[in-house]
Structures are given as C-alpha cells and as structure tokens.
C-alpha cells in the first residue's frame, strides 16, 4: 500500500510539474500585456528625407497645429507623442525663439472642436532661434504619463504658441505629410485666440509627421493563464502537504518564482 501511495504521489507530482513547465513556456511566448501599439505618419516622411512639406508654426505663423486620431484597437493608454520642428530663418519672422506647450483633448469630429477638459498639458517647450541658414528638423518626444484612451473615441494632440505671444513674430516649421497613412483623423490648424481655442472650430489641413505610442489592454487569456498557474501551484502544495505532513512541510524553504 505504501509503495502504491508513493507511486501515485510521484505520478501526480510529475503531472503537475509538467503542467507548470507548459504554463511557463506559454507565458514566455505570450506577448507582454504592456506591448506597444503605434500610430506613425513620420516613417514615410523620414524615409523621403524629411521633404520640404511643412507649415509655419508660432507667433509668425499659425499659433496652433493639431493632429486628431483614433487610438488603435486594443489600446489602453497613450504613452508618448513625437513630432518634428525646424527653426525658421526667414527675416520677416522676427528672429525670435519659439515657445509653446503641447496638449491632448478629446476631439469632436462633427463640430471640429475640442471636447471637455485637457487630458494632458506639457511643460513649456522651447525651440531657440538659430542663424544657421539650413537648420535641421528637431524631434520632440513627450512622455504623456499614460493617458487613458478609448479606441472608439477621437482625440487631438496639438501644439499651442498662444500662451507665449510677445509681439515678435518668430516662427518655426512643423513637419507635415501629404497625405500620410490613415490614423483615424486629420491635421488641423487654429488661428482664433487663446480664449476661443476650445470653442471655435479648427480648420482641416495636412497631417502632422508624428509617432504616437500606446500601451495595450491585457488580453483575457493573460488572466486565464495566470489563474491556471496559481491553481497548479496550490495543487502541488497540497500534494506535498499530504505526502510529507504539515510539520515537515513547514520546514521547507518557500517557493520563489523568479522571472
């Protein structure tokens, strides 16, 4: 009887070990729950050598440029947004730096207006004036702090120089793509005023050259896999308790699972 119990115990132990190995293998092959999802119009623009496609941004150009978009399926948060600016060297622009902030709002695609309160407002950003006759485009990447988003809704990311008007019409060039890949929205400009920025309609224009990174929603299979793993560990512990006795089991080192 003891021999049969021992064999039975070993069989069950071997089976549970096999289950654990399978679960660990599946976990290793399963995409991470925080895998990146990306909207990208900049790749083709960069591949074309950052062509002359661009629009004037700043006090000497359009004071606000935006890009509306729909988050990709499965997106849970908007994590970062990249865009490109080039300092203008046109003498009519006043030779001034360009200061601005970036903002994210929900977007009403029917009225072409901002919706609700801001979801994100950046610290002031700065593009200094340069005497270089051919200044390069500079990439700005803002970490947005994991803004919750819904793939069924529309949003807009925009740059605003309204807050820094000083009477000197400095300007930069914002990178644009024509027409660019489908990102669930268009580029927009505003030339109203800071007070009317959230109430007046924006004007559709070309898309910004941008890269937006999102974090994915954890799939239900991820939770199921975790639950199966926990149950397997609990079952293994019960078998060991029965085979060794509670007193002996208490002297065993705790099981540590390292990634």
Residue 167 lies in a domain: yes
Given a cut of 70, is residue 224 above it in pLDDT? no
Judge whether 258 lies within some domain. Answer: no
What pLDDT is attached to residue 139? 94
**Domain span including residue 65:** 36-216
Task: Give me the pLDDT at residue 147, please.
Answer: 96
In terms of domains, do 232 and 244 share one?
yes
Query: Which pLDDT score is estimated for 159?
Result: 97
Verify that 225 and 124 share a domain, yes or no: no
**Residue-averaged pLDDT of the chain:** 78
Domain count, the chain: 2
76 and 188 inside one domain: yes
Determine, yes or no, domain membership for 254: no
Do 80 and 162 lie in one domain? The reply is yes
User: What is the structure's pLDDT at 88?
Assistant: 74
The mean per-residue pLDDT over the stretch 235-255 comes to 53
Structure tokens at 121: 């407002």
Retrieve residue 95's tokens.
């030779």
Indicate whether 42 belongs to any domain. Answer: yes
Strands 203-205 and 54-57: unpaired
Instruction: Let me know how long the chain is.
Output: 259
Residues 108 and 131 in one domain: yes
pLDDT band at 249; cut points 50, 70, 90? very low
Separation CA 47–CA 177 (nearest Å): 12
Q: What is the mean pLDDT of residues 151-180?
A: 92
In tens, the pLDDT along 12-33 reads 545 545 544 434 344 444 444 4
Assigned domain for 63 exists: yes
pLDDT in tens, 8-17: 544 554 554 5
Q: Would 53 be classed as within a structural domain? A: yes
57-108 pLDDT, tens digit each: 998 889 999 999 999 999 999 999 999 999 876 545 457 889 999 999 999 9
Instruction: Looking at the structure, tell me whether residues 55 and 135 fall in a common domain.
Output: yes
> 243 pLDDT exceeds 50?
yes
- For helices 220-244 and 2-29, what crossing angle results, to 10°? 160
Q: Is 149 in the same domain as 232?
A: no
**pLDDT (average), residues 230-253:** 52
The string of DSSP codes covering 59-72 is TTSBSEEEEEE-PP
The residue that leads in pLDDT, 242 or 117, is: 117
226, pLDDT greater than 70: no
pLDDT at 70: 97
For residue 193, is it within any domain? yes
Please indicate, yes or no, whether residues 180 and 95 belong to a single structural domain of this protein. yes
How many other C-beta atoms lie within 10 A of the C-beta of residue 207?
Answer: 26
Q: Say if 255 falls within a structural domain.
A: no
The answer on 125 and 74 residing in a single domain is: yes
Q: Residue 51 pLDDT > 90, yes or no?
A: no
Same domain? For 8 and 91 the reply is no
**Residue 61's CATH number:** 2.60.120
Co-location of 165 and 100 in the same domain: yes
211 shares a domain with 134: yes
């Amino acid at each position: 009887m003891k021999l049969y119990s021992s064999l039975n115990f070993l069989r069950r132990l071997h089976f549970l070990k096999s289950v654990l190995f399978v679960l660990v293998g599946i976990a290793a092959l399963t995409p991470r729950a925080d895998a990146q999802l990306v909207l990208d119009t900049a790749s083709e623009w960069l591949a074309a050598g950052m062509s002359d496609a661009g629009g004037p941004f700043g006090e000497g150009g359009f004071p606000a440029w935006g890009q509306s978009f729909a988050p990709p399926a499965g997106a849970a948060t908007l994590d970062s947004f990249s865009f490109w600016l080039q300092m203008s060297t046109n003498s009519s622009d006043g030779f001034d730096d360009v200061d601005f902030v970036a903002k994210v709002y929900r977007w009403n695609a029917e009225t072409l207006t901002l919706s609700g309160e801001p979801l994100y407002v950046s610290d002031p950003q700065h593009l200094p004036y340069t005497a270089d006759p051919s200044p390069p485009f500079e990439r700005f990447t803002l970490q947005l702090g994991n803004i919750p988003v819904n793939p069924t809704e529309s949003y807009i990311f925009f740059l605003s120089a309204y807050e820094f008007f000083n009477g000197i019409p400095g300007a930069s060039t914002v990178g644009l793509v024509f027409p660019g890949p489908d990102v669930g929205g268009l580029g927009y400009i505003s030339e109203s005023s800071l007070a009317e920025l959230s109430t007046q309609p924006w004007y559709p224009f070309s898309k910004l050259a941008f890269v937006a990174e999102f974090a994915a929603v954890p799939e239900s299979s991820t939770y199921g896999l975790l639950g199966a793993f926990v149950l397997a560990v609990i079952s293994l512990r019960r078998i060991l308790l029965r085979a060794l006795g509670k007193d002996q089991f208490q002297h065993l080192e705790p099981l540590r699972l390292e990634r």
